[in-house]
């Protein structure tokens, strides 16, 4: 019994994103069992969410962790935004990196700008103007999709976002630079 307790403790303090994701899923699965009390269900769902968040912190590229965090808390704009970042990153991957990924993985990760856009929009629906970077990425995604009118709308919002952090200042600078690169006409 003592060995099981030690193993469980080591699992819980793990730094491995994939293991943390599996703990999130296991906690959620136990929460869904009919024999689990309502109080235990609530505690297990919160525990699962914490594991998923830790998995995201350890490996932001972990697709499964992003999906699980959104599934566990669909009102968490940050998790939704991070899923959009994941999609945007893979949509933007150059052809030579895709070719390398094809050689390394049986089913390499892939995504589209449309998928990324959906997540960024959903994050804004859940919590409008919650994060300057989400506004910027909405603008950049619309640029990638050749929609300059909507790109200008979101880039202006990013440029005008109150700068509370260094990241906000960087977002403002990038949005300003992108806006000067086109007229905003579609």
| Tens digits of residue pLDDT in 99-136 | 665 655 555 567 899 999 999 999 999 999 999 999 99
Identify the burial level of 112 via C-beta atoms within 10 angstroms of its C-beta, where 0-12 means exposed, 13-18 middle and 19 or more buried: middle
Domain boundaries, the chain: 1-73, 80-186
Instruction: Taking residues 30-35, report their average pLDDT.
Output: 74
CB-based contact 36:30 (threshold 8 Å): yes
Q: Which fold has domain 80-186?
A: 1.25.40
Q: For residue 72, count other CB atoms closer than 10 A to its CB.
A: 23
CA–CA dist 61, 79 (Å, integer) = 12
pLDDT at residue 163 tops 60: yes
Model-level pTM greater than 0.85?
Answer: no
Q: How far is CA 21 from CA 15, 70, 105, 140, 141, in A?
A: 11, 12, 20, 30, 28
């Amino acid at each position: 019994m003592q060995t099981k307790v030690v193993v469980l403790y080591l699992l819980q303090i793990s730094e491995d994103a994939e293991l943390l994701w599996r703990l999130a899923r296991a906690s959620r699965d136990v929460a869904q069992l009919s024999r689990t009390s309502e109080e235990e269900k609530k505690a297990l769902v919160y525990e699962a969410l914490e594991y998923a968040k830790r998995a995201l912190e350890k490996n932001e590229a972990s697709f499964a962790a992003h999906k699980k965090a959104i599934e566990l808390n669909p009102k968490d704009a940050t998790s939704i935004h991070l899923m959009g970042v994941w999609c945007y990153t893979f949509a933007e991957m150059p052809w030579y990196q895709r070719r390398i990924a094809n050689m390394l993985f049986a089913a390499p990760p892939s995504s589209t700008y449309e998928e990324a856009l959906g997540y960024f929009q959903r994050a804004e629906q859940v919590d409008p103007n919650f994060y300057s970077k989400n506004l910027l990425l909405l603008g950049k995604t619309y640029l990638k999709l050749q929609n300059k009118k909507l790109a200008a709308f979101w880039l202006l919002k990013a440029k005008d976002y109150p700068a509370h952090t260094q990241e906000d200042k960087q977002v403002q600078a990038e949005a300003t630079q992108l806006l000067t690169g086109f007229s905003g006409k579609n």
